[in-house]
Amino acid sequence: MSMTNPTTLSAAQPAANAAALREDMSIRAKLVETTIDALLPPTKGGDARLIEAMRYATLGGGKRLRGYLAVETASLFGVSEQQSARVGASVEMLHAYSLVHDDLPAMDDDDLRRGQPSTHRKFDEATAILAGDALQTKAFEILAEPATHTDASVRIALITAFAAASGAAGMVGGQMIDMEGEGRALPLDEVRHLHALKTGCLIRYSAEAGAILGQADAELQRRLRSYGANIGAAFQIADDVLDATATAEELGKTAGKDEASGKSTFVALLGIDGARAEAERLTKLAIEDLAPFGAKADRLKALAYYVIERRN
Amino acid sequence: MSMTNPTTLSAAQPAANAAALREDMSIRAKLVETTIDALLPPTKGGDARLIEAMRYATLGGGKRLRGYLAVETASLFGVSEQQSARVGASVEMLHAYSLVHDDLPAMDDDDLRRGQPSTHRKFDEATAILAGDALQTKAFEILAEPATHTDASVRIALITAFAAASGAAGMVGGQMIDMEGEGRALPLDEVRHLHALKTGCLIRYSAEAGAILGQADAELQRRLRSYGANIGAAFQIADDVLDATATAEELGKTAGKDEASGKSTFVALLGIDGARAEAERLTKLAIEDLAPFGAKADRLKALAYYVIERRN
């Protein structure tokens, strides 16, 4: 997908920055991976199988979009990667718990996750339920530890924003609305609201987390929060477009699944061109949010393109 | 069951204190109930059903042993009930989430909880999974709020102890070991370890939480932590004795279930008299832990008896 109206962008934008972003995402995905590995070491006692399931659910790949956002936004304020990678690992653990529970037979009943057996297929349902539960606990525990930030009030601010983004008024609330909406046509504003909660809140938190960790002033914190909300919304619309246009080979999973299941998607509501235009509009808003950061935010700008240009 | 050797007790112990305890538990159960109700108000939006399930799982009774412990231990240090009831509500929400997930078909598959349909029977499995997830988040969120304590480092200490008690190295780890141990005979030390994690950690935390909230010195904190661990262990042994000796009417659930399912219980390992003696030994240790508090801790002493003398 090419941008139809790239006038709001810095001249150097697409090619060079996209290449830099890819390299940076790969480096930071490894950093987050290593951090999760260290925070969740394998054990030999009675909890060995539980820890193994938690590791299975969290390690071994993915783009680490949420972890990347936390580390990259924190770097705008000179926060050490030792600290920001912990916040990145924490949000990836929470994201992983939500996927483990979402894949359960009583929920979406998915046997595969990134081409591998989902956690309840690899282990069993009870282990998957408990591993998800313990991953959520661990995600909060990591934020509370002094290694995340020396100032307890900063850790409290992270925990507060994290809980708001992931609980009944955030991610879990969105999953519930999604489940209840299955099989009936939702209007556009409800689809927007559902996704703002289900995937948007945690992506927004990830961008905001770097600002909290960096003790940014209220205006910069608001800017990054808005940036996160905008790319989160664009991300979901791009997902719908991908489902409707990409091949199964590109996606690594069944394509056209949304239409087949009669889900209320942005593509169903706006058409493919309309959905693309909406994603581009949100991307531009996200880039405008970054204005005060200048060239320091070039990678975050490239990321705003990346979420709508990716093919998987 | 009467105490065979009550020589370590204050003279005024049994009758008067037991009556005072019953009244106090009833008053504080109401306080915790009111606090949960206020922290989790019903809603009318898209999250109405999720919140309804969370309220169903947490409101409407129970002894509130954990909530009581938090409020009562905090009162030793003059903490306001407004603050301690929040901590009590938080731990009861966490306990409720663990019961909701434990009752699921993939776990213990229980249709009833306190004589009422379990959450997944009243709603559905997906709603029960999500309600449990959101209750855990809410429990952490409450602790992080300034109304719990003005000092952020006290809130962080609560969150840290809470996460340790409830995660993979605590309650959830215990549930996993319990599940893996089903159908095979466990030796006494493994049964002890399993219950120390599964039910003991959260009861211990509840007693410790009051000391953290009250900013007690390290020795008093250690004392209440030990008290909580001892009554937590006694509580579980008494549960096994009850299952083997009480009628279904007394229990409000099927009696003799443990023996029928071939579970490794303290009664199976020690016999009924041996299990009773062990519970009494732990009760005495718990009472010794309270020595520095004098008469202020009379209700906590009475509670140590209560956990082994109750008939349901």
List of chain B residues whose C-beta atoms are within 8 Å of the C-beta of residue A190: 46
Per the CB < 8 Å rule, is A155 touching B156?
A: yes
Q: Quick check: B95 contacting A, CB < 8 Å? A: no
What ipTM is given for this predicted complex? 0.93
A198 touching B (Cβ < 8 Å): no
**Predicted local distance difference test score (pLDDT) of residue B138:** 98
A101 vs B107, B129, B172: nearest CB: B129
pLDDT value for B184: 81
Q: Report pLDDT for A217.
A: 96
What is the CB neighbour count within 10 angstroms for residue A15? 9
First to last CA, chain A: 13
Residues 6+ apart with CB under 8 A from A171: A98, A165, A197, A198, A199, A201, A202
Pick from B237, B159, B154: nearest CA to B191: B237
Yes or no: say if A270 and A278 are a contact pair by the CB < 8 Å rule. Answer: yes
Q: Mean pLDDT, to the nearest integer, of A107-122?
A: 93
Which residue of chain A comes nearest to B161, CA vs CA? Answer: A141
Domains of chain A: residue spans and CATH: 10-309 (1.10.600.10)
List residues bridging with A116 in a β-sheet.
A113
Mean pLDDT of A54-75: 94
CA dihedral B37, A137, A192, A107 (to 10 degrees): -90
Per-residue pLDDT of B49-72, as tens digits, reads 999 999 999 998 788 999 999 999
- Looking at residue A288, its pLDDT comes to 97
In the numeric block, which tokens belong to residue B303?
């509670």
Query: Does pLDDT of A14 surpass 90?
Result: no
Asked if residues B275 and B241 have their Cβ atoms less than 8 Å apart, the reply is yes
Q: What is the pLDDT of residue A270?
A: 93
Length of chain A equals 312
B308 against A216, higher pLDDT: A216
DSSP H helices, chain B, are 14-39, 48-58, 65-75, 81-102, 119-122, 125-144, 152-166, 171-181, 188-195, 201-213, 218-245, 248-251, 257-260, 266-289, 298-309
In A, which residues are within 8 Å of B46 by CB distance?
Answer: 173, 176-177, 180, 190, 193-194
Kindly report, residue by residue over B266-294, the tens digit of the pLDDT. 999 999 999 999 999 999 999 999 999 99
Q: What is the pLDDT of residues B223-267, one digit of tens each?
A: 999 999 999 999 999 999 998 887 666 666 666 666 666 678 899
Q: Does A215 touch chain B (CB under 8 A)?
A: no
DSSP state of B196: I
d(CA B73, CA B286): 13
- The answer to whether residue A287 scores a pLDDT higher than 90 is yes
User: Using CA atoms, how far apart are residues B87 and B70, in angstroms rounded to an integer?
Assistant: 7
Is B133 in contact with A133 (Cβ distance < 8 A)?
yes
Model confidence at A186: pLDDT above 70: yes
Strand residue runs (E) in chain A: 112-113, 116-117
Contact at CB, B130 and A155, closer than 8 angstroms: no
What mean pLDDT comes out for the span B191-208?
95
Q: What is the pLDDT of residue B75?
A: 97
* Rounded-to-integer distance, Cα B93 and Cα B58, Å: 6
Q: Stretch A277-292: mean pLDDT, rounded?
A: 96
| CA–CA min distance A167, chain B (Å) | 5
Provide, as residue numbers in chain A, all residues whose Cβ is less than 8 Å from the Cβ of B127: 176, 179
Q: What separation, in Å, do the N-terminal and C-terminal C-alpha atoms of chain B show?
A: 13
Does B182 contact chain A (CB < 8 Å)?
no
Q: Does A42 touch chain B (CB under 8 A)?
A: no
The share of chain B scoring above pLDDT 70, in percent, equals 89
For the stretch B133-146, pLDDT in tens is 999 999 999 999 99
Q: Give which of A49, A294, A307 is closest to A199, Cα–Cα.
A: A307
- Are A101 and B51 in contact (CB < 8 Å)? no
Please report which confidence band the pLDDT of residue A201 belongs to, taking 50, 70 and 90 as the band edges. Answer: very high
Could you give the CA distance from residue B161 to residue B183 in angstroms, rounded to a whole number? 32
* Phi-psi map region of B37: left, alpha, beta (phi>0 left; psi -120 to 50 alpha): alpha
Q: Is the pLDDT of residue B7 over 50?
A: no
pLDDT at residue number B171: 97
A vs B, Cβ pairs < 8 A, gives: 151
pLDDT of residue B2: 39
B207 close to A168: Cβ distance less than 8 angstroms:
no
Asked if pLDDT for residue B97 goes beyond 80, the answer is yes
pLDDT of residue B263: 74
**Separation of alpha carbons A95 and B17, rounded Å:** 49
At residue B258, the pLDDT reads 67
B210–chain A nearest CA distance, Å: 19
Cβ–Cβ of A164/B173 closer than 8 Å? no
Interface of A with B in 104-143 (CB under 8 A): 104, 106-107, 124-127, 129-130, 132-134, 136-138, 140-141
- Alpha-carbon distance B239 to B251, whole Å? 10
DSSP type of residue A196: I
Interface with B, mutate which of A44, A107, A121, A137 (most B CBs under 10 A): A137
Instruction: pLDDT band for A261, please (50, 70, 90 cuts).
Output: low
